[in-house]
Amino acid sequence: MWDQILRYLYLKKKDPNAPVNTNVKLMHGMNRISIMVFLFAILLMIFRAIFK
């Protein structure tokens, strides 16, 4: 699980043996977007808690 998250955040190289097709690319793209939005929301909540 952590390996996949690190790949989504571009912190780890892609697996060269992983299957590549359109559905997998779209799924990984949506997962990447959702992780980025989640991290942004967490940072925003921390920022508001500190400066309020």
Q: DSSP string spanning 1-52? A: -HHHHHHHTTSSPPPTTS---HHHHHHHHHHHHHHHHHHHHHHHHHHHHH--
Considering its fold, how many domains does the chain have in total?
1
Residue 31: predicted pLDDT: 85
Residue 12: predicted pLDDT: 64
Query: Does the pTM exceed 0.75?
Result: no
pLDDT digits (tens, 9 = 90+) for 1-52: 677 777 766 666 666 777 778 888 888 889 889 988 999 999 999 999 999 8
Residue 28: predicted pLDDT: 81
Residue 42 domain boundaries? 2-50
